[in-house]
Structure 1
Amino acid sequence: MADSTPQLTRPRKRRRDPERTREAILEVSAKLMAKDGPEALSVSQVAQLAGVNRGTAYHHFQTREQLVKATTDWVSEKMTDAVFGDAEQQRNRPEVVLGNLAHFCVEYPEFGRVWLVRILSMEDRNQDHFWRQFKSQVDRFVASEAAHEGIDAEVHAVRVLTSAILWPVWMRSRSATPEEREEMASRFTREMMRLHLDGLFRKEKYSDLEMMPTHL
């Protein structure tokens, strides 16, 4: 007679996913950094909030400085992927780049704040991947036949980025519904495109400004 006693099997160990664990740590770290600044970060606190074992967290980031650097790098990479994900689609399409930037900043206002603090503290801002790519795109546009002469590429890039980052903070996007956030992003994109295409002043009303020097 066959033995009908159920055979006990050892439960399978859940496979670890180091990349997913690292991603979870960095996401929590970025949100904390936006709220309290980099000085308030600690590896153990981030591990606890991310639901990760302290030993595992310290395996990824031995020091607070390493965590801060990795977090700001991660945010810059996230922004680059979101804004320039499909390089071919976005080549020479400013409305796509502006729309992607607006949607990212509205959906993740804390990441925009982290990036802004990072870029302001850097000696060589070209070391930041997102800034380098965004500025390069502006440079190409300014040098193209599609642009007016005399545009200051750096001033223009800073104006667009700081506006995109501050807009969702001003509009308190974190407490908005998905539909409201979508409208916030669309409003920003429309106004930026209108500004790019039409400007602000009617030249006939400000004819005395046409002789204004480019460099004061």
Structure 2
Amino acid sequence: MSLLLSTLFIGFLLEEHLTLGSNILVGEVNATRCRENERQPLLIFKQNLVDDSDILSSWGNGDDKRNCCKWRGVVCSNRTGHILMLNLQPTDGYLGGTISPSLLNLSHLNYLDLSFNNFNGNTIPEFIGSLRNLRYLDLSYACFSGPIPYQFGNLSRLQSLELRGNDLYSSSNLERLSHLSSLKKLDLSLSNLSKSNDWVQVVNKLPFL
């Protein structure tokens, strides 16, 4: 076999090997299935939402919807199937209603984005402060109002907290937020901090800001 033919043959084998490897990898990703004890809490979460735009139409109990790792906005671990991310920032329409505490069953959740939805002036649920593995929380422009929950001070792993564009105000004491020792980004734009006398001191205590 000539050198040219040998080179082409080796190249063909290499290409076939890479293609096969890619297909196997895709197959492994698509084969990831979510856990039933996390799928059901998501369905409860959906039941409490108003979804006139059918943003969550991929969520359901049908045979073609059993794997919640394929649902819109849901990202699972390829290794364990645990739900890691919930990104429900809409590209069209918006979600409303209430946020169910069933999310507490997603014990591995580290990313939650509910920004640019319309929760119609509801207060931010205090239970979000019990999602201890959260590293990213974005509730920007989601039509929340009321106090910033002091329970957020429990989120010691949180690296990014975005609350801008809501009708929020601080309690008289923001000291609990100084416990967010991992925080690298904090956005409270358009929040009313006039009732808090210590917010500057609190921000200064955050080591990574």
TM > 0.5: no
**RCO greater where, 1 or 2, for CA within 8 Å and sep 6 or more?**
1
Find the structure with the greater CA-based Rg.
Answer: 1
Q: Which has the higher strand share?
A: 2
TM-score bin, normalised by smaller chain? under 0.3
